[in-house]
Amino acid sequence: MGELRLMKGNEAIAEAAVRAGCDGYFGYPITPQSEVLEYLMSVKPYETTGMVVLQAESEVSAINMCYGGAGCGKMVMTSSSSPGISLKMEGISYMAGAELPLLILNVVRGGPGLGTIQPSQCDYFQATKGGGHGDYRLYVLAPASVQEMADFAKLGFEMAYKYRTPVMILSDGIIGQMMEKVDLFDPIPRRTNEEIIKTCPWATTGKTANRERNIITSLDLDSAKQEKHVFDLDAKYKRMQAEDTRFERIMCDDAEYLLVAYGSSARICQKTVDVARAEGIKLGLLRPITLFPFPTDEISKLAGQVKGMLSVEMSLGQMVEDVRLAVNGKIPVEHYGRTGGMIHTPAEVLAALKSIIIGG
């Protein structure tokens, strides 16, 4: 019983957050994701669901507002684009350390520095390998459609609470800005304070006589305790790998060659697969949906089947390193992609496949 609408990706995720029962959004404008905050301000969820929407004075402040809200057990979200995400990294590290649930959207633009406002996938390393300081990981979802922007808001919150961890939706300027039809899920009511106290017994909801005080912190000056804490975090990340690795296989069953691509690039590569198959090349596409945990096992299996893999990313090649680790030298793995806000075409990808992998 959904509701069908034509929406931008940025609008879809904002609407989905409200429907998912989000308690608070804290953001700061930056292209190409400002529609998230604009949409929320225009639909005024504070008058309907009671969700708080606040434009902070900076990305730094916005992420720390999320820390405060999440520390109370509230379902919180922020969004930004690459340079703003860099500013949020301190807070993300603290939230990972303090084990706070958070949904964070990165609508990636070309970098480094101020870079460009055009789409890119150059923040893969930052999203999956840390970004902030310390031994931590984010659960990273890569939507490839406006529909997934909406669906992953709900899924992202679920994962954030399942693992008490920040979850990043690693999108890009194409998915954020383009309009597609989206089937919106039915609204879920926000949790009551009583429900939060029950489901988040760790949250700072006010120390009552029946429990010890709750402390939200990422600090432990006792190194032995801190090491144990990091080991516990690692166990959580391993559980994510075992239980919540997500990917999509497209024409992989009989594939002799494989493209590996996520998000917008996967949409482009889907067309490349069609064109290649029309030419008689048995090409498949493996689309990682979670970038962390990475579908290492699936790619490792496919390495026993195909002759070569091409990681196609709108960057200089970042995910290709994880593909190579999964393949572990069994077959050739190369990268192709445009960067700096340029977007490769299906034909360019096919030409690259022919010259680098098939002919290489």
Partner 1 sequence: MEMKDIIKPENLVFKKTSLFTEKPLSYCPGCGHGTVHRLILETIEEMGLQAETIGVAPVGCSVLAYEFMDIDMQQAAHGRAPALATAIKRLHPEKFVFTYQGDGDLAAIGTAETIHACNRGENIIIFFVNNGIYGMTGGQMAPTTLPGMKTSTSPFGRDTEIMGNPLKITELVAHLPGTYYVTRNAVHTPAAARKAKKAIQKAFEYQKLNKGLCFLEFVSNCNSGWKLPPVKSNEWMVENMFPYYPLGDIKVPSL
Closest distance between partner 1 and the C-beta of residue 58, in Å? 6
Contact 107, 79 (CB under 8 A): yes
* Beta-sheet pairing, 3-8 with 52-55: unpaired
In this structure, what token pair is assigned to residue 183? Answer: 């089937």
Among 28, 94, 124, 163, binds partner 1 (CB under 8 A): 94
Which residue lies nearer to partner 1 by CB, 216 or 259? 216
Among 24, 166, 263, 317, binds partner 1 (CB under 8 A): 24
Q: Residue 279 and residue 274: Cα distance in Å, rounded?
A: 9
Q: Residue 349 and residue 117: Cα distance in Å, rounded?
A: 23
Which residues from 113-172 bind partner 1, rule CB under 8 A? none
Contact 339, 109 (CB under 8 A): no
Q: Residue 269 and residue 64: Cα distance in Å, rounded?
A: 38
Q: Confirm or reject binding of residue 69 to partner 1 (CB under 8 A).
A: yes
Residue carrying structure tokens 């916005």 = 62
Q: Residue 347 and residue 312: Cα distance in Å, rounded?
A: 13
In order of 56, 228, 279, the CA distances from 346 in angstroms are 40, 48, 14
Nearest residue to 160 (alpha-carbon basis) of 99, 106, 210, 214: 99
**Interacting span for partner 1 (CB under 8 A) from 163-171, 204-212, 266-274, 295-303:** 204-212
Cβ neighbours of residue 215 closer than 8 Å, sequence gap 6 or more:
204
Q: Confirm or reject binding of residue 198 to partner 1 (CB under 8 A).
A: no
Which residues from 207-226 bind partner 1, rule CB under 8 A? 207-209, 213-219
Residue carrying structure tokens 């009671």 = 50
**Interacting span for partner 1 (CB under 8 A) from 60-68, 238-246, 256-264, 292-300:** 60-68
**Interacting span for partner 1 (CB under 8 A) from 7-15, 62-70, 166-174, 247-255:** 62-70
Side-chain-facing half-sphere of 198: CA atoms under 13 Å: 5
In this structure, what token pair is assigned to residue 289? Answer: 């949906």
Which residue lies nearer to partner 1 by CB, 214 or 300? 214
Nearest residue to 28 (alpha-carbon basis) of 86, 68, 75, 69: 86
Which residue lies nearer to partner 1 by CB, 186 or 217? 217
Closest distance between partner 1 and the C-beta of residue 24, in Å? 5
Which residue lies nearer to partner 1 by CB, 94 or 262? 94
Contact 5, 141 (CB under 8 A): no
Closest distance between partner 1 and the C-beta of residue 41, in Å? 15
Which residue lies nearer to partner 1 by CB, 116 or 204? 204
Contact 138, 167 (CB under 8 A): yes
Binding mask 26-45 for partner 1 (x = CB under 8 A): x-------------------
Closest distance between partner 1 and the C-beta of residue 303, in Å? 42
Which residue lies nearer to partner 1 by CB, 197 or 356? 197
Q: Confirm or reject binding of residue 67 to partner 1 (CB under 8 A).
A: yes
Q: Confirm or reject binding of residue 57 to partner 1 (CB under 8 A).
A: yes
Which residues lie near partner 1 (CB under 8 A)?
Answer: 23-24, 26, 52, 54, 56-58, 60-62, 64-69, 71-72, 74, 76, 90-91, 94, 98, 193, 204-209, 213-219
